[in-house]
Amino acid sequence: MLNRHQKFGKKGESLAAEHLARNGYRILKRNHRAKTGEIDIIAKEGDTVVFVEVKSRSSDHFGSPKGAVTLKKQKKISITALEYLKTTNQSSSKARFDVVAIRSEKGDFNVEIIKNAFELTC
């Protein structure tokens, strides 16, 4: 059974996937798990593979959703993305890292896509 925070996170990931699809992304995989870490959403925009980290916040008490993707998190995502590209024979594909920042205020959700949010960090 999911707790309140997990439910909020899952809701955020669903909203992010819907928002990405409405904006021309083709969702390839959600919650990709590997020994190296997890990637919330893997998508394609044109010929670019996009690794998406979703951050949802109901307040700024713990900081903004944009600022929540720390250097440590970027490294884990980068290593997992490289593993994904290698195992799916897409090592020569164009790729980038986006963040979807979701803020909830009184039941309303503001969803923002931040393209090229960070560079490959290993």
Report the C-alpha gap between 116 and 52 in whole angstroms.
10
Long-range contacts made by residues 113-122, C-beta under 8 angstroms, separation at least 24? Answer: 113/19, 113/20, 113/23, 114/66, 117/53, 117/66, 117/69, 118/69, 118/74, 120/78, 120/81, 120/82, 121/71, 121/74, 121/75, 121/78, 122/75, 122/78, 122/79, 122/82
Average confidence (pLDDT) over 100-107: 82
Confidence of residue 95 (pLDDT cuts 50, 70, 90): very high
> What are 19-76's pLDDT values in tens digits?
999 999 999 999 999 999 999 999 999 999 999 999 987 656 556 666 778 899 999 9
The domain in which residue 69 lies consists of 4-118
Give the total number of structural domains in the chain: 1
- pLDDT over 60 (residue 85): yes
CATH number at residue 38: 3.40.1350.10
Report the C-alpha gap between 10 and 22 in whole angstroms.
18
Say what the pLDDT of residue 97 is.
Answer: 97
What's the chain's average pLDDT? 89
Q: Which helix (H) or strand (E) holds 14?
A: helix 4-22
